[in-house]
Amino acid sequence: ELKHDDALWATWVQQHGDADVMLLRRTSMQAEWIARLGKEGTGALQNAPRDVLADTEIMLAAARLDPDAVLERAAKDLWTDRNFVLEMCRHDGGSLARAPQSLRADRELALQAVSDVTGSGLRAVCRTLWSDVDFAREAVARNCWALRMVPDFPIDEQLAMAAVEQNWR
């Protein structure tokens, strides 16, 4: 959050050069709860009202602090929001499991979930995607453990090499 401080801004520009700035408009509730998260951490969500737990901006701010707290407390309808699910998959691939089937079949979301090195997102990916050879190649290139999810179609040389190369990174 930017506060009015010309000296701070001038110093930053001198040290780093020009910058692109994106201004976000937040509601008073969002500003209050994001500040509260900064002070109290995600424990502040324990007694939060439903409208706070259903707010994308607040819950993503909480996820940056502790993704597990968001997994436990985010309102159900947030899991139908593609952008929310994408951001959550960046924190924890396994969070894809909370999304509806239509989002679990979304290629970009699935690949983000698969990219989680813990492998927690592998089982959340829609089964039909694993049958797509191109998806399987890309998934294995991101996480060699994805090879275990590929159905019984012949594993071609390109798919096997993707697993080997990813494993050696």
pLDDT in tens, 44-58: 999 999 999 999 999
* pLDDT value at 86 more than 90: yes
Tell me, what's the pLDDT at 16?
Answer: 82
pLDDT interval class at 75 (50, 70, 90): very high
Cα separation, 98 vs 106, whole angstroms: 14
Tell me, what's the pLDDT at 21?
Answer: 75
Provide the whole-model pTM.
0.77
Mean pLDDT of the chain: 87
Contact 92, 70 (CB under 8 A): no
Q: Is 71 helix (H, G, I), strand (E, B) or coil?
A: helix
Tell me, what's the pLDDT at 149?
Answer: 85
* pLDDT value at 117 more than 90: no
